Amino acid sequence: FFQKTLSAVKSWFTLFGWSKGQNPISVPHSLRRDVCIVQLTVAPEKNFQRKVDKDKGFYEMLLHLNGQPIPGIAASQSLPPDPVQRMFQLHWQHSELLSFLRGQGAYLSHVSPEFLLAPEDYEIWTEVNTGMRVVSMRGSGKLSGSPIFILEHKTFETISKRSWTDVLLQIYKVFVLPRISSRTVPDTSSLESLHSIPGIKSEPLSSNVYSRYERTILIWLNKQYEKNRTIVWKDSQRGGIPPMRWIVNFDQDLLDGLVLAAQIAAYCPYLIPTHFIKMYTNPATQEQLLHNSLILVKSLHTINLDIDIKV
C-alpha cells in the first residue's frame, strides 16, 4: 500500500508540482538534495550558495502551489561551510517548514525535522546530541523524558522516505485540495432519489477523517453516481442497473469501479457502449472486480487520461 501511495505521489508532483513543466522527483533523494545540498570543498570565508534549477527547487514548488513563500525562508538559501552550522540551519529550516504546514492544517505531528535531513547531516545531528539522553532503536531500555532516537542508516532511510512522502501528501492536502469549491457541485435537491440517502455534511468540524474539501468530492461522487447509474447501465449486459449506494470513503466504496465509471461517463458518454456496459454491476468475486478495474483502466487509456496507470 505504501509503495502504491509513494508511486502516486511521485507521479502527481512530477507532472503538476512545478510551474514550468515536468520535473521528475525521487523520494526522498531529490527532495533532500534540493533543500539539503552539501558542499564540502568551500573556502572558509565563503558561504555555499545552492545551485539548483531556478524553477525546479523544493521551495519553488511550494511557492507555485501555495502562491506565497514560507516566511523567513528564501527560495535560494546560503549554507554555512561548517558542517555543524550547516546542519543547524537545515534543521531550523525543516522546523520552520513543518510549523508552517501545520499552521495551514497539515497533520505532521509524527514528523521530526531531523527525519528530513540528508544521512550525513543526520549523523552530525546525532553526534551533536550525544551529550543528551539517548535511546538506541536497538536497545530495549525505556527512559523517562523526551528521548533522542539514534537510527541505523537503513532505518533512517526508511523513516526519511516515509516522512517526505507524508510531507508531500499534506502539501497536496492543504494547498491543492482547497481549490475545490462547493460552488462547482450541482444542487442535489433536484434528485428526489437522493433524499433517501443520508447527507454528507461539508462543515469544517463535521469529520475527523476527511477535510471539508474531501467531503465536497464525496458529495459530488454521490450526486454523479445516483444521476448516471440508470443511464450508464440501462442496457447492461452483466447484471442490470446497479443498486443505489451511499459513498462515504475513497477506498471500499470505489473498489468495484462503478462509481468512477459513472463519473467518467458523465463527461465521456461515448465510452458507455464501448466500455462501461460490459462491467459487472453487482460484482461478487475478485475476478469480477478485476474485470471492472481493467475496463476502467482501458477507458482511461482511450481518452489519454491514464498518466501512470498500467493494465
271 or 311: whose pLDDT is higher?
271
The reply to whether 34 and 121 lie within a common domain is yes
The reply to whether 166 and 235 lie within a common domain is no
| Domain presence at residue 229 | yes
Overall number of domains in the chain: 2
**Residue 173 pLDDT > 80:** yes
The reply to whether 9 and 121 lie within a common domain is yes
Question: How many beta carbons lie within 10 A of that of residue 297, not counting itself?
Answer: 16
Residue ranges in the chain assigned as alpha helix (H): 2-16, 29-36, 58-66, 83-103, 119-128, 153-171, 212-232, 258-267, 271-274, 286-302
| Domain presence at residue 308 | no
pLDDT band at residue 169, thresholds of 50, 70 and 90?
A: very high
The reply to whether 224 and 116 lie within a common domain is no
The reply to whether 209 and 271 lie within a common domain is yes
The reply to whether 39 and 158 lie within a common domain is yes
pLDDT band at residue 108, thresholds of 50, 70 and 90?
A: very high
**Mean pLDDT within 228-244:** 91
The reply to whether 6 and 91 lie within a common domain is yes
The reply to whether 126 and 203 lie within a common domain is no
| Domain presence at residue 71 | yes
Q: Which domain holds residue 236?
A: 188-303
pLDDT in tens, 36-45: 443 333 334 3
**Residue 248 pLDDT > 80:** yes
| Domain presence at residue 309 | no
pLDDT in tens, 122-155: 999 998 887 554 444 443 333 334 567 789 999 9
Instruction: Give the SS3 label for residue 261.
Output: helix
pLDDT band at residue 99, thresholds of 50, 70 and 90?
A: very high
